Amino acid sequence: MILYNIVLGLGAFCGLPLALPLALCSGKRRATALERLGLRGLPPTPEKSGSGRRRIWIHALSVGEVTSAVPLAMCLRNRFPDHDIFFSASTRTGFLTARRLLDGIVQALFFFPYDLPFSVSRLVRRVSPDVMVIVETDLWPNFLEQMHRRAVPVFLVNARISSRSCAGYRRLSFLTRPMFRALTKIGVPSAEDGLRWTALGVSPERIIRTGNIKFDQPIPDIPETERQRMRRALKIAPERRIVVAGSTHDGEEQVLKTAFLRLKAVYPDLCLISAPRDPDRAGRVRRIFASAGIETETLSQLENGGDKRLDVVVIDRIGLLKRLYALAEAAVVGGSLVNRGGHNPLEPAAVGVPVLFGPYMSDFREIADLLIAGGGALEIPDPMRLAEVLQALLEDRTRRADMGQAARETVLVNRGAVDRTAALITEGITA
């Protein structure tokens, strides 16, 4: 731990000349950094809150993890009405998502600290949790050391772990083994995840297969009147066909642009909704499509009075993608056409839309395989074949309907992990 903190301190010192100008130029970055350093935005201490209630602290890294954690937070709220629920996120987009989805459910929302000893210690003293719940695998040595010192039970839930992450942890076993000893119980989505945690030195009796809580996300009810309203807001005529590309990363828009130009020659009415994972990239994404002569605007520009017929609409805010998927003839999952591990394919599947993704789905491999086996998804080994696969789907209405129904059914039959995860935590709290 001493060596880790020396390296961490040197890294922070060396990175300061780069990070400081960025923080000073961006109010958002500055505010986030100050909160993660523990210098502002701290929750009230138990003494100041005056409630005297026990505290459950739930942490989720970013948007995907936060979204997964919402049903669990609601379930724990119902199971433990005499406890306060505190919630943290590491990224600004994750924090904003939590603020939107957890309003009225949690007693405090704040940023997770950088893993610097003084930042961690300051926040942990303020929160003073009785139970810690970490969603997926945002694990940090100093933080877990603090939990261990304070004898706080730590539950790692939905703890999926890829073969790549497992190999990385094994290379750093001198650091990770003490960290894993702080984990009271680990709830894993699959047997394969459990085997990987065992290979990392976690005793099997601490590993419980609970299933994947991502299947338990609320399924939006989007009637036809709402779909037509969304089309009007996007200025997309009712007769036009739509493909939605969600949570895309740098490099994927070039693939989408090439595919779209090929498809546009066959389907002149086709429209693409592109939602970059980072909304701050929206301007750059718009320029990529516009550079090929494709009529493109961001959603904000549309709302500010744009009225021309568009071929591509770029979504530049968070919180809309789940509902936008319902407009699609087919959905392309981002992070899978380039090697970013993929993103959650259950969001389009839940609204009955055929799901397409590229070969890079390591972070969602089990879910991807279930959707493929159920007939609701197609994996495209070569991203340059995206246009070919989409064209085959657009030509076959019956196949699209069958795939959409199969995708939705796969979601429905795999629900229940939130209750099993809450039961695991309950057992630890009441033990």
- In angstroms, the CA 71 to CA 77 distance is 10
The residue length of the chain stands at 431
State residue 17's pLDDT score. Answer: 57
| Percentage of residues of the chain with pLDDT beyond 70 | 94
Q: What is the DSSP annotation of 98-118?
A: HHHHSTTT-SEEEEPPPS-HH
Token pair of 244 as six digits: 């939605």
More confident site: 23 or 97:
97
pLDDT tens digits for 241-286? 999 999 999 999 999 999 999 999 999 999 999 999 999 999 999 9
Q: How confident is the model over 146-172, as a mean pLDDT?
A: 94
Beta carbons of 154 and 180 less than 8 angstroms apart: no
Mean pLDDT, all residues of the chain: 92
pLDDT tens digits for 310-346? 999 999 999 999 999 999 999 999 999 999 999 999 9
State residue 13's pLDDT score. Answer: 56
Beta-carbon contacts of 380 under 8 Å, excluding residues fewer than 6 positions away, are 356, 357, 358, 359, 386, 389
The letter for the amino acid at 178 is P
Scanning the structure block, which residue is given the tokens 């949690």?
Answer: 106
Token pair of 142 as six digits: 């100093």
Beta carbons of 86 and 55 less than 8 angstroms apart: yes
Q: Tell me which of 65, 145, 252, 329 is the catalytic residue.
A: 65
- Quick one: which of 160, 201, 149, 163 has its CA closest to 1? 149
DSSP 43: P
Check if 65 is active-site. Answer: yes
- Quick one: which of 248, 260, 243, 258 has its CA closest to 393? 243
- In angstroms, the CA 192 to CA 197 distance is 9
Three-point CA angle 187, 191, 196, nearest 5°: 80
- Quick one: which of 228, 248, 139, 134 has its CA closest to 187? 134
State residue 32's pLDDT score. Answer: 87
Confidence of residue 99 (pLDDT cuts 50, 70, 90): very high
pLDDT tens digits for 343-395? 999 999 999 999 999 999 998 999 999 999 999 999 999 999 999 999 999 99
User: Phi and psi of 113, rounded to 5°?
Assistant: -75, 155
Domains of the chain, each with CATH number or no CATH = 52-211+416-430 (3.40.50.11720), 224-413 (3.40.50.2000)
Scanning the structure block, which residue is given the tokens 């076959």?
Answer: 396
Q: How confident is the model over 33-41, as a mean pLDDT?
A: 86
DSSP 44: P
Beta-carbon contacts of 171 under 8 Å, excluding residues fewer than 6 positions away, are none
